[in-house]
Amino acid sequence: MRLITFNTSIEFICFLAALTFLIKVKDGAWKLLIPYLLLAFSIETAGLYLRTHGISNLELYNGFLILENLMISYFFFNLFKPYAVKVKWLIGWLGVFFTLYIIEIVYSDFKDFVSITASIMSVVFVLASLYFYYLKLKDESYEPLISSASFWWVSGSLFFYFGSTVCNLFFDYLKEYEVVQYNRSVRYVIFNILNVILYSSWIISFICKYRQKRFSH
């Protein structure tokens, strides 16, 4: 039984980076990333365990999608707060998400992954990332992007959720093609690349956040 894979390895490395650099950060949204990443690693590992034993892991990933949406949505809202974005937008989006989620999971009779809801969530996060860039461009206060924790976090999220959206749109096409020599689908390889981009960018953002805290004293 192989539970150590490329994805679980990079998720665990990102968790260790968050634990190292964010443990003393006072910002609650950033600190929440520590248990979130540990949970993501645990879910991925549990999903592999279930799959290797011939047990469906759809319920596991359907459940995690709720936590993922709550965490990423709250984090974006935290980034938007300095720009006077009101909480009603967060509440409204969560209402839409849960409505779509319930409709899709009931329609599929709890037997399929909520792919439409996941795709819409990815699109919303892509739009949120672009809106963050727009706010940054309008912001008169200067902050070097190379050392901006929020910039690196959003950039990783943008690439990941944009790539996820494209993969979901072309899911039926991609799943027909296998990388025979590695026994992996094209979609699997693409998501590995997206995970590298996401977690590498997040690790850089954790380092920037740590340095920001360190030099603020």
Q: In this structure, is residue 65 part of a structural domain?
A: yes
Q: In this structure, is residue 196 part of a structural domain?
A: yes
d(CA 27, CA 21): 12
The number of domains in the chain is: 1
75 is in which domain, residue-wise? 6-216
d(CA 76, CA 165): 18
Q: In this structure, is residue 175 part of a structural domain?
A: yes
Pairing mode, if any, of strands 178-179 and 184-185?
A: antiparallel
pLDDT in tens, the chain (217 residues): 567 888 899 999 999 999 999 999 989 999 999 999 999 999 999 998 998 888 888 999 999 999 999 999 999 999 999 998 999 999 999 999 999 999 999 998 888 889 899 999 999 999 999 999 999 988 878 778 899 999 999 999 999 999 988 887 776 565 555 544 445 567 778 888 999 999 999 999 999 999 987 665 5
The H or E element that residue 178 is part of is strand 178-179
Q: In this structure, is residue 118 part of a structural domain?
A: yes
pLDDT of residue 214: 66
Neighbours of 180 (CB within 10 A): 7
Q: In this structure, is residue 12 part of a structural domain?
A: yes
Q: At what angle do helices 6-22 and 28-52 cross, to 10 degrees?
A: 160
Backbone angles phi, psi at 183, to 5 degrees: 55, 40
Instruction: State how far the alpha carbon of 173 is from the alpha carbons of 49, 59, 139, 167, in Å.
Output: 27, 24, 42, 9
pLDDT of residue 180: 43
User: What does the angle CA 8 – CA 170 – CA 120 come to, to the nearest 5 degrees?
Assistant: 75
Q: In this structure, is residue 1 part of a structural domain?
A: no
pLDDT of residue 175: 58
Query: The whole model's pTM is what?
Result: 0.91
